[in-house]
Structure 1
Amino acid sequence: MRKRFVVVVCLLPLLLVTAAACAESTDGEGVASAGGTAAPNATRSLSRLDLLTRFAQCMREHGVPMTDPEVDGDIVRQGRYDKNAVSADTEVEAEEACKRLRPPQETGPEADLKNELSRQFARCMREHGVENYPDPNPGGTRIGEDIGKDPQFDDAKALCTAQRDAAQASMRPSAGATR
């Protein structure tokens, strides 16, 4: 008798766990919430590069010949296009259709560092012969076709990229540093 009691007591929890595991899901019905409804958002887990790549693809699908984003070290810049090759209406319609794919504006110390390095890079380009090189804007610098054709462009870009990379490396904390 005692043996049967021990077997029943040991098997009962196992049977309950098995029954619970095989029961139908209620998909969260009856689960407490804070009153909001959570809608899944696939874009939250995508990187800035992934979002900008999808944004560029969307813009192309809507008639704007945007290039894929550019990656330069840790900096990811939005793709570019020649604004003269697209009508203003097409551009506005494409921007509206694709705005859900544009990543949010970066903020904080890391974004401030990137913005300062971009301003220094633009200044360096102008100082080294590319007089019309624009200052960066929040969406990334858009270089017109004529700027890339400047005879000093390639040499200035190589020099200014090296200066920017050195400045960026000196501004980052070393591996052993603590905050």
Structure 2
Amino acid sequence: MLEDMRTLRFAAVALAAVTSIGLAGCGKENPPVSQSEQDKMVKFAECIRKHGVDFPDPGPNAPEKTYDPNDVRMQAAHAACRSLAPNPHQEGKPSAAEEDRALKLAECLRKRGINAKDPAPGSIHISIEESPGDDPQKTVAAYAACNKEVPAVSGG
């Protein structure tokens, strides 16, 4: 979940920091953000809000936010919107225990009727595919139940 929190914080920071000159990060300047990447960030923010989370639009005046990795509403929204997410800043490889938990969490979500995909090897990012008419509250409820069933890795 620590990597997810980093990703959620990065996504919020990336959305807040987008300007015509690009993003600054890690003490060096990154290349300018393309219009298609900016459009992707706007769609990501819209998707997150569609799932009930107060999330800023990209822009230089957007507030920086950090999200609780245990917030089931944000977990569900981020998983549903993962395909639209900006590329996360990588901050280290997850532990074997974190990877194992992510696989168990995806399995738990599937048992509750959520179309959850297993994370790629070396990742803990779960994505879900929603169908038209899917209820985001069902995903939130599934995350709430699965977080109890598959507790977070301590020391992560």
Structure ID, larger Rg: 1
TM normalised by structure 2 equals 0.45
- TM-score, scaled relative to structure 1: 0.40
Q: Larger % of helix: which?
A: 1
